[in-house]
Chain A
Amino acid sequence: MKIVVAVKSVAALDDEFELSSDASAVDPDYLEWDLNEWDGFSLEAALELREAAGEGEVVALTVGAQDAEEALLNCLAKGADRGVRIWDDALEGADPLAVATVLAAAVEREAPDLVLCGVQSSDAVNGATGIALAGLLDLAHVAVVRSLDYDPATATATVERELEGGLVELLSVRLPALLTIQTGINQPRYATLRAIKQAREKPLAVEDLAALGLSEADLATAAGSRRRALAIPDRGDGAEMLGGSVEQMAERIAELVKERTG
C-alpha cells in the first residue's frame, strides 16, 4: 500500500510582527516555522495504515522553500519512508489552487493508493488544497475525516466525517481516494532522538517546477486569486484591557464574576 501524505510547513506569527514595506507580506523575521498541526495527524494515520498492512510506503510531499525542510525531516523521523520537496521562487505566495496543481503533478507520478492531507493549515486556513487536489486528479474524496478504518480485502475505507454541532456521518469510500484528516483522529507519535538523526539518511528529493513538467505560466493559469493587500484587522471596540498587576487584574475579574453571576 502506497500512501502520499501532503504536508505543509506553516508559519506562526510572533507576538509582535511587522509587515513588509509594501504591505504585501509579513516580514519573515517575525515568523516561526513548524509542521502544520493537522499534518501531524494525517502522517500518523498513514504510518498506522502501513503498520497494519505490514508493508507499503509512506511518502511525505511538500511544496515549500528551504524553510520547509525541517517539517519534512520531522515526518521522516516519525517514520515516513521518503520525502519530496518541491520549490520554485514562482511558488512564493501561491494560492491553494496553484499549490494543488503542483501537488497533482507530483502525486500523479507516485500513483498512490491513498492520499492524505490535513483538513487545513494553521496559517492560511483555506481548508481547500486537499479537495482541490482530489478534483484535479479526479480522485474519490472525503473532507474532515475524524476516524478511519481500512479493509484491504475490499480496498474500502470506512470513515467518519465530522459535521457541525457534534454530528458525525459514517460513510465508506473505495480506494484510490483522498481524505482530509481532522485533528484528534489519533495520537501522533514523537520521534526519538535516534530517529531524528537517522532521518537525514532517508531519501529526500528536492525538485523544481520543470522537473514536474510545469512552468510559471501553468501556475499563473492555475492560481485562483491574487493578493491585493494584507491588512491588520480593525478589531472594532475589542476588549477593555485590564491593566495593572496580576493582583489588580484578578481583583477586577473577581468583581465582574460576582456582578455578572450574582
Chain B
Amino acid sequence: MAGVLVVAEARRGELREVSLELITAARQVKSAAGGRLAVALIDADAPAHAAALAADGVDEVLTVSSPAPHFEAHIAARALSALIEAERPALVLLGHTIDAMGFGPAVAARGRLGFASDVVALDWDDGPLVRRGAYGDKLLDELEFPERACTLLMLRPGSFTPATPAAGTGGAVRAVELPGLLDDARSEHLGFREVQAGDVDITKADFLLSIGRGIADRDNIPRFEELAERLGATLSVSRPIVDAGWMPSARQVGQSGKTVKPRLYLAFGISGAVQHLAGMRTAETIIAVNTDPEAPIFGVAHYGAVADMFELADVLEAKFA
C-alpha cells in the first residue's frame, strides 16, 4: 500500500477549511509514503468542490456523490471503506472534526487500520509517526503504527497551515461510483438550526473578560459581571459554565461556541481545553489567571498570573474604582 488519501469535508454547500489543512499535512509525507496524493470528497455536491481541492501537490481528486442531502455517518463510513479498498493508500487523513468523529473510528476499527485521533504533528519514520495531546495537553504522546499496511489519522483543525485552493480547472478529477450507498443510510436528517443567539455578540467585542470552571459556583458570577462592567469588558465564558446552565450559550467561546479575536482577552479560571483555545488563540493580547501553573492556557497566553482568581479580581477591581 502506498500514497496518501485525504478525506475533505463540505457542509451546507461550503468546502470546510480543514480540507486544505489536511492537504498541507499530506504533502509533508507524500514522498515518504511512497506514492501519490489523492483527495476524496463524499458529499451530495462533491463535483462542485473538486476544482478547489486540486491544490498544488494533489495528484487526483476523487468525488463520491452522496445520495443523502447532508453528511450521513453510515454512508460516509461505507464510502471511505470502499475507497480505501480500491485505492490502497498507506495513509488516510481526516480532520478531527465532529463529522469525522462520527465515522472515522468505525472505519479504522472495522478495517483493522492503524489509528490515532486529535493528532497535532505528523512525521514519517519507516511509517507514520504522530504526536497528540494527553492529559489535557499537559503531555504529548508520540505514537507509531507498526505492522499496519494502512493507518487512518484524524488531525486537529488549526494544526496545519491551509493549502492555497486551486483557482483553475487543473488537476485530474475522477468521479467514483459506489452503487447502493443510499441503502447504507441509518439516520435521517431533519434540519439544521443555529443555537439561539443571545443579547450580546461576543465576536464583536474589543475586550473580553472570560470566566471558566474556576468560578466554582453560580453565585460567584455576578462578581465577575460587575468586574467586567467596571473594566469596560464584555463577559464571555468557557463551556462548563454553559453546560451548568449558568450562562447562555451565546456567551461561549470555543469550538462549539464562538471564535473570537478581541484586542484583549482576560481569562479567569480557564485551564484551556483544546476546544476553548481553538476559539480564542488569535486574540491580540491574552492574559490568563489560574491557580495551576501547568494550565495549558499559559501556553497560548501572552501574560500569565498564577493566583487565586477571586483574590486577584478584588484587587484589580479596586484599581478601576
Interface residues of A (CB under 8 A from B): 11-13, 15-17, 26, 95-97, 100-101, 119, 122-136, 140-144, 158, 161-174, 177, 180, 183-184, 187, 221-222, 224-233, 235-236, 238-242, 246-247, 249-254, 256-257, 260-261
22 contacts between A and B (CB under 8 A): A17-B138, A95-B115, A127-B96, A127-B101, A135-B107, A164-B98, A164-B256, A165-B255, A170-B191, A224-B113, A228-B143, A230-B134, A231-B131, A235-B299, A238-B298, A238-B301, A240-B303, A240-B304, A242-B305, A253-B303, A261-B206, A261-B264
Residues of B within 8 A of A122 (CB): 136
**Inside 8 A of B210's CB, which chain A residues have their CB?**
none
A165 and B206 contacting across the interface, CB-CB below 8 Å? no
B175 close to A (CB within 8 Å): no
Q: Are B134 and A184 in contact (CB under 8 A)?
A: no
Which B residues touch A251, using CB under 8 A?
A: 319
Interface residues of B (CB under 8 A from A): 11, 70-71, 73-74, 77, 96-99, 101-110, 112-118, 129, 131, 133-146, 148, 154, 186-195, 206-207, 231-233, 239-240, 242-245, 249, 255-259, 263-264, 266, 274, 284-289, 292-294, 298-308, 311-312, 315-316, 319-320
A144 is contacted by which of B101, B105, B115, B303 (Cβ under 8 Å)? B101
Quick one: given A162-B98, A230-B140, are A239 and B288 in contact (CB under 8 Å)? yes
- How many Å lie between the Cα of A202 and that of B233 in the bound state? 52
A226 to B188 Cα, complex, angstroms: 37
Q: Do residues B302 and A172 form an inter-chain contact, with CB atoms below 8 A? A: no
* Contacting residue for A225 out of B145, B259, B264, CB 8 A: B145
| A135: contacting residue among B110, B188, B255, CB under 8 A | B110
B142 touching A13, Cβ below 8 Å: no
B312:A260 contact, CB within 8 angstroms: no
Interface core residue of A97, A125, A158 (most chain B CB under 10 Å): A125
| B240 to chain A: closest residue by CB | A183
Check B299–A236 contact: CB distance below 8 A. yes
Chain B residue at minimum C-beta to C-beta distance from A162: B256
A143 and B101 contact, Cβ closer than 8 Å, known pairs A123-B134, A172-B190: yes
- Asked if residues B206 and A235 are in contact (CB atoms below 8 Å), the reply is no
Give the interface SS of chain A, mostly helix, strand, loop or mixed.
Answer: mixed
**A164 to B135, Cβ gap below 8 A?**
no
**Does A143 lie within 8 Å of B316, measured CB to CB?**
no
Asked whether, in the complex, the Cβ of A233 is within 8 Å of the Cβ of B98, the reply is: no
Q: Tell me the minimal C-beta distance from B291 to chain A in angstroms.
A: 8
Whether A166 contacts B256 in the complex (CB less than 8 A), given A131-B102, A131-B105, A143-B102, comes out as: yes
Select one of B141, B231, B239, B299 contacting A227, CB under 8 A.
B141
A224 to B74 alpha-carbon distance, docked (Å): 21
Contacts of B148 in A (CB 8 A): 224
User: A233 touching B187 by the CB < 8 A rule?
Assistant: no
Q: Is the beta-carbon distance between A224 and B116 smaller than 8 angstroms?
A: yes
Given contacts A168-B193, A227-B142, contact A97 B135 (CB under 8 A): no
Contacts of B186 in A (CB 8 A): 140, 173-174, 177
